[in-house]
Every structure is written in C-alpha cells, then in structure tokens.
Amino acid sequence: MAIMSADNADMLSEELQQGGTVLVDYGAPWCAPCKVLLPLLEELHQEFGDAVSIVKVNCDELPQLAAEAGVMSMPTVIVYKEGQPMEKLVGLRPKAVYQSLLNKHLTSRTII
C-alpha cells in the first residue's frame, strides 16, 4: 500500500478503524518542513511496508480533522494503534526518531 492522502474525514476514520499501526502526517503543501518530511515518509513506507499505514492529511483542505487531532503547528505526526492516538510529534524530526517511534508501537502489545 502506498502513502494514502485522506480526501475526507471518512477515509481517515476507515483507515484508523482497520486497526494496526497508522502514522498520520498533518501538514500542508506550502509548509517547508512538511516538504522535507515527505521523502522521509516515503523511506519509512519502504522500510516498514504493510506493517504500518501512512496517511497524509492536508490541514488546509481538512481543517476539522486537524482541529480534532489538536494540531497547532505543522508538521504534526500522530501514531495511532488500534484506532487510538498513542504519541504526537510536533515539528520536523530526524528520520531515526520516526523509525524508533514506529518500532516501539509495532513491538508493544495492546492491553485489553
């Protein structure tokens, strides 16, 4: 699966409801740090494959989703596990930070 762009709230909701680990990037096309993040996300997609879904949300087109997620600055990356937000990173970070975050949530178990 390629990096998905959420066109509406329903698309994001459906992706989160499928369960598993989902990284959601809240950004905008004009945001310089967001442009730097895109190739990092592509590399993460290649490394993690189907183990992680990566979804981009354009905050200009879907401001209600950004507001619901508490996005105050871009880029904001939120890792969801089984549909629940687990961690939020605000601002651009080195690739190793995203790798570590994903590895952490792929290996941790959800307690029911």
Residues known to be catalytic:
31, 34
Where do runs of H (alpha helix) occur along the chain? 9-17, 32-48, 63-68, 95-107
Count of other CB atoms within 10 angstroms of residue 82:
15
SS3 call for 108 = coil
Please enumerate in sequence order all residues whose Cβ is within 8 A of that of 67, keeping only pairs 6 or more positions apart, or say none. none
